[in-house]
Chain A
Amino acid sequence: MRYIPSGSRAVREMLQRVGVAEIDDLFVTIPEPLKIKAPLQIRPAQSEFSLRRELKAKAATYPTEAFSFLGGGVYRRFIPSAISPVVTRAEFLTSYTPYQPEISQGTLQAMFEFQTLLAELTGMDVANGSMYEGATALAEAVLMAKRIKPKRNRVLVSQGVHPEYLETLRTYLHHQNLEIAVIPLNSAGQTDFHALRQVLDENSLCSLLQVVNFFGVIEDQAAHAELTQAAGCLNIASVLEMTSLGMLEPPGSFGVDIFVGEGQSLGLPLSFGGPNLGVFACKKAYVRKMPGRLSGQTVDQEGRRAFCLTLSTREQHIRREKATSNICSNQQLCALWVSMYLSLLGRKGLKELAEMNYSKGREAKKLLAAVPGVKIRHSAAHYNEFVIELPQKALRVWEELDRRGYLAGIPLVWFDPADDQALLVNVTEVNPKEEIEALALALKEVL
């Protein structure tokens, strides 16, 4: 096996030093009846050559050439060529969590920079080094809210929150003695703040608003902030399409207490939905109740600036059952990738990218709305994603468009069986105008 350096001579020498005749003798502490008697029933080893052929064949079933309008929590992005070669350098890729700061300054400085970049982008005081992904980050935000206000028990969640996030939250809260109340959307596609006002009371722990909601609609963060603040209820904001913060006022400006997001939208590949990147930020006052790793600035013995993991007493390896979370591994490499993406994109680039996505979204809305029988469902402003209503079953249309080479969005019937004539369509900077026009034409033909 080419990954194991020891040959038979080295093995012999080592066995001799250890004082046993063969390797099996080292496993004497495993009771005989528990030992495997027959070889594992898995495929025999394959050569690198044959594995690469097989992998290529497996990968090839995905139509990368199709015109894709899929979003819904992960977004297609143009990824600059400069990122991958640097981020996948072995010094980043094959190092462990930076518990030994003297030989991990690269990871630690990069983590500190990531924390700064995300704090800037979201307008929050402090961001951590990352969480697994957006849905678990959202669940952790609610667990954190409970640590801040232990006496309150009701969690208010806008219906505009991604359905898979809501489902994850329900799982995480199942044993927490917290109840969830879902606040519906109004016909414009925004959270119904009249309904929210009616349920807000002294038992309301936190209220969750997805700033650009699952249906692509831009929510009114100001109204949400005003209502939650008045009720003493924690304000949790979430963003999945993070480039929208290039044009939208950042949640921090509205006094949001905890911010969570999905960082995949900041230049990470789709990878079938993982690994992606949970973003987690909060007000400074709550930092000791925060989950996840933090890199902090300090000095070394000679007084030079240095970085190390800090406020670690929050974490499971020290506080065990009283830790702020059970998270250990995070998504450091993905965070590094996003840092590099944001560094390349820069201040002006972020703004322009957001405007481009917004404009492409508007163009797509215009072209698709012009197709006979097609309607844009929500009247409020969208960022780069929106729902179209069709005059017939969406699944049939979707399948027919797929056969013609269009991944034409997400059938909402997957999330709500009654909503069977609607597609969630996403347009980003990687959709040239011709693709949008072609989709409109194809849709017209199919209907």
Chain B
Amino acid sequence: METRHELKYTKEHEWVLIEGNQLTLGITDFAQSQLGDIVFVELPEVGTLVDAHEAVGNIESVKAVSEVFCPLAGEILAINKELEDAPERVNTACYDEGWIIRFKAEESDITEADLMDEEEYLAYAKAQE
């Protein structure tokens, strides 16, 4: 199971990269391997305002669906349009070309958010295996 040191993680097996008040979000290697071959990613519209823990999209394999949750309240700034034609990127490069959304949040929310660092997440994911 691959993880990245610079990222924070959620209990829904998502990663976020925090750059100031902007965050990039994707799913973890653990999550993509659990789902299997991803066939479709449903993305929100840019500009959508979301609440904390709101589902903003879906990731589908042939026989499973997993919702994408936004861990913080914010506004969708960008979506990874490439996934419409190449959803397999979530399998092959979940931390890079397989990113899902970019959104903006309040800095105070970011500091208070319930996110795990790499070490905590590894322990969390191991326990679920």
A contact set with B: CB distance below 8 Å: 288, 312-313, 318-319, 322
Contacts and interface: CB of A to CB of B under 8 A. Distances in A.
Contacts of A312: 62-63
Nearest to A320: B65
A370 B60 CA distance: 64
Contacts of B63: 312-313, 318
16 contacts: A288-B40, A288-B42, A312-B62, A312-B63, A313-B40, A313-B60, A313-B61, A313-B62, A313-B63, A313-B64, A313-B65, A318-B63, A318-B64, A318-B65, A319-B65, A322-B65
Contacts of A288: 40, 42
5 closest Cβ contacts across the A-B interface? A313-B60, A313-B65, A319-B65, A318-B63, A318-B65
Residue in B40, B62, B63 whose Cβ sees the most chain A Cβ within 10 Å: B62
Contacts of B42: 288
Interface string B45-75: 0000000000000001111110000000000
Contacts of A313: 40, 60-65
Interface residues of B, dominant DSSP = strand
B84 to A, nearest CB: 12
Interface of B: 40, 42, 60-65
A313 B63 CA distance: 6
Contacts of B65: 313, 318-319, 322
Interface residues of A, dominant DSSP = helix
Contacts, number: 16
Residue in B40, B61, B65 whose Cβ sees the most chain A Cβ within 10 Å: B65
A71 B60 CA distance: 44
A312 B63 CA distance: 7
Contacts of B62: 312-313
A313 B64 CA distance: 6
Given A288-B40, A313-B60, 12 more contacts: A312-B62, A312-B63, A313-B40, A313-B61, A313-B63, A313-B64, A313-B65, A318-B63, A318-B64, A318-B65, A319-B65, A322-B65
A301 to B, nearest CB: 15
Residue in A312, A313, A318, A319 whose Cβ sees the most chain B Cβ within 10 Å: A313
Nearest to A322: B65
Nearest to B65: A313
B35 to A, nearest CB: 11
B111 to A, nearest CB: 33
B76 to A, nearest CB: 17
A318 B61 CA distance: 11
Contacts of B40: 288, 313
Nearest to B62: A312
Nearest to B67: A322
A97 to B, nearest CB: 15
Contacts of A322: 65
B50 to A, nearest CB: 15
B93 to A, nearest CB: 22
Nearest to B61: A313
B59 to A, nearest CB: 10
A318 B40 CA distance: 15
A165 B65 CA distance: 33
Contacts of B61: 313
A318 B63 CA distance: 7
Nearest to A323: B65
Residue in B40, B42, B60 whose Cβ sees the most chain A Cβ within 10 Å: B60
Contacts of A319: 65
Nearest to B64: A318
A319 B55 CA distance: 15
B105 to A, nearest CB: 25
A319 B62 CA distance: 12
A322 to B, nearest CB: 8
Nearest to B60: A313
Contacts of A318: 63-65
Contacts of B60: 313
A164 to B, nearest CB: 35
B88 to A, nearest CB: 15
A322 B63 CA distance: 14
A319 B60 CA distance: 10
Nearest to B63: A318
Nearest to B58: A313
A318 B64 CA distance: 6
A312 to B, nearest CB: 7
A312 B39 CA distance: 11
Contacts of B64: 313, 318
